Structure 1
């Protein structure tokens, strides 16, 4: 059965009060050309029950619509995060010199309804492909502006059950995943009538080091791949069994994330069945490096232990090995390789920050090739804390896939289910059956 979404309005939401004007410089990481793209995601909110406060004389009182609540709160949050209401402008050298013009023109906001449809009718968007096309739940193109010049777009789609979906498209140029989660949480704080966000945002892009430009090859056209979607839920029980076996065999502890990533990398490598077993395969994980920076602005604030910086602050952790070795390795070996790479992170980031990598390839210029797997961890970005008065989202659906970038995103299954969800678009059709088989074998 098909369901349709009808967009009822679309407009720019400006900051609720006057905000500073002028031009803001982006950091060296923000300006990485490969980050000049939009990151879409869907945030699913179940309907809330009717509380005693909602009743008068035994009858439920009319409640404001989710769209109106989020829209008003967005305007307030844009006062604190006023650069998100501006526009990107390229520098003389192009996107590599981009900055933000704080024009206050606002974020694009769309209100929509799913006609005659409840979240249960579409399985709460827990079955792929979705019963409603994902593009219908994301905001349409904003008028009068190039999409990549706009920091933020949102759509709230209301369902007849009282639940809703927030479709977010944010620019990776202005914020990383942690920053986007922090911003969405701020909207939720205002939606619940808090006087200010629980975490005070910090722009402070000057705190990011500015090392000299490193070697970079010409920006070639990446190979477009026909990547197929696969989602696998790993139970905490299966993860804990693997962690226990690793502890017994190596004496070393590892994280749930370590196990999930190692298994996914091995399953994908096995599915490729590269004829040359000495061919290199690469794993790339974007690691948060806020804890590696120094200065007063990075010390815990607001009692939450969070500095409030919402710009890009990550560094690629790379692991490379022969495909045959990855296929045949015990899981403990792959976990050890990842842990060793993470252990090198502070020294490698310090060398980059100090400008000691002159003469070598830029670590932020990633190898977009089919033999590489990129992993993004969405389990600790803060999106689950975004509560607009209906509680946190039942689940968050990343849609940050690109046809030139084999990727696996680590998240969580819909509440109340527990475990780890691996969402992938990392193999083409010919390799999908073996990849699925290898991933499912981990559950046994």
Structure 2
């Protein structure tokens, strides 16, 4: 990179809507968070969208479109408020639609995207440290005070004409699919559309009445407050090659599949990463520990949520009944069948998680493939790459695997794996056997 550094404007400014729509959700301008939202109040999420060809006025265009989008998505410009009065079970959280605005920061680099190695597709390696400078990052668990903005945006321009859009937001206000919907709306407005093509909905009576499905991640935090000396502070950039995925899918079909159905790309990638991670982290004193795998599932269509709803409405599916040694010794096809069975049921997680001995016995997987980030367009075309990102040292409750969207020229499925530094070399070694 030739010593190039990210030069940031200081301080960040607040972008507000040019006018606020009348707030009709409640008489006092607040939106009560649902049972799905409340568990996400202290969870920040960051996505990086890399665009290769943008004009010189791209940053100003995005800034104007962002302001216009806040007219339609006005809750993003508000703040989380916490009240203990009237709460049935602990604190009550709401979004106050204050119009305070979203945080916006501009930055630049005297090098190209190629020179900065932003577009490099990793087969197996550590995260490019430059990514930490491309977004306004918040540590896991320390986010969610009444002063924190619900959305922070950084635009970093490169000498080649490309840019990186770094977006950090409170998971309480939007799921990943909801944020992709919002950014698509910003793109439409930047391209000259008078209004978003999807009418946004933040309050849905159907979703608000639902009790949350049990969360294995939350139960892991409650059941195992310590991680037995391991710190989940290493982020790995991994790509599972298309050749491996096609090979496993072909083997699965040749063996008759599961109920006559082929396996999916998601199922293959989960099986590969889960087994490699178990093998790399299994020690002589824990092969008999139970091995759990949870993965996020979008429940909007299942519960009948309104079109355009961008709040949280998801359930964690749980795979249980195996030990670390049985997963380590299993074939990919057997693991895929376990994953398929988990998709068809919502188990009694309270009972199943009683055997959890260590947070490291549970891995959580979520997929951003096909949620819409790969289609965001501010006028220069779709992003060349989309990446989940989190600051190292954020210490999530359990090992996490996030599958990134498929983008230009990608030969496989790219993902970010959050794990312990002590096991990085072993994990990369296991993955190298297959990739």
Would you call these one fold, judging by a TM-score over 0.5?
yes
| Matching of residue 71 in structure 1 with residue 63 in structure 2 | yes
- Structure-to-structure mapping, 1:336-351, within 5 angstroms: 336-345=337-346
Q: Equivalents in 2 of 1:314, 1:124: separation in Å?
A: 31
> Contact conserved, 1:4 with 1:132, CA < 8 A, in 2?
no
CA contact (8 A) 2:79 2:146 kept: no
Given the superposition, is the C-alpha separation of residues 149 and 210 from structure 1 closer, same or farther in structure 2, using an over 3 Å criterion? farther
Query: Displacement of 1:226 after TM fit?
Result: 4.3
CA offset at residue 312 of structure 1? Answer: 0.5
CA spacing shift, 1:333–1:442, aligned 2, 3 Å: same
- Please state how far the C-alpha of 1:246 moved relative to its aligned partner: 1.1
C-alpha displacement of 1:135: 3.0
Residues 184 and 96 from structure 1, CA distance in 2 versus in 1: closer, same or farther, beyond 3 angstroms? farther
Measured against aligned partners, the alpha-carbon deviations of 1:394-415 in whole angstroms (never above 9, x if no partner) come to: 1012114641331111124652
Report the counterpart of residue 280 of structure 2 in structure 1.
271
Deviation per CA, 1:324-358, whole angstroms, max 9, x where unpaired? 1101111111111110010114xx6xxxxxxxx8x
Following TM superposition, by how much is the alpha carbon of 1:250 offset from its aligned partner in structure 2, in angstroms? 3.5
- Which residue in 1 is equivalent to 2:130? 133
- 1:284 aligned partner: 294
Tell me, yes or no, if structure 1 residue 108 matches structure 2 residue 132: no
Question: Given the alignment of the two structures, is residue 81 of structure 1 paired with residue 90 of structure 2, yes or no?
Answer: no
Provide the C-alpha distance between the structure 1 equivalents of 2:59 and 2:294, rounded to a whole number of angstroms. 37
1:384 pairs, out of 374, 393, 401, with 374
Kept in 1: contact 2:65–2:187 (CA 8 A): yes
Contiguous gaps of at least 5 residues in structure 1: 49-62, 299-306, 349-356
SS in 1 for 2:155: strand
Matched, 1:249 2:255: yes
| Counterpart in the other structure of 2:315 | 315
Using the size of structure 1 for normalisation, the TM-score is 0.82
Unaligned ranges ≥5, structure 2: 24-28, 139-143
Partner of 1:398: 388
CA contact under 8 A between 1:73 and 1:188: conserved in structure 2?
yes
Structure-2 separation of matches of 1:131 and 1:292: 38
Q: Find out whether 1:27 has 2:20 as its counterpart.
A: no
Q: Give the C-alpha shift of residue 184 in structure 1.
A: 0.8
Does 1:206 find its partner at 2:205? yes
Q: Following the alignment from structure 2 to structure 1, what is the Cα–Cα distance between the partners of residues 214 and 237?
A: 37
Kept after mapping to 1: 8 A contact 2:78/2:98: yes
Alignment-derived partner of residue 12 in structure 1: 14
1:18, distance to aligned residue in structure 2 (A): 2.3
Contact preservation (8 Å) 1:18, 1:79 = yes
User: Is the Cα–Cα contact under 8 Å of residues 373 and 426 in structure 1 kept in the other structure?
Assistant: no
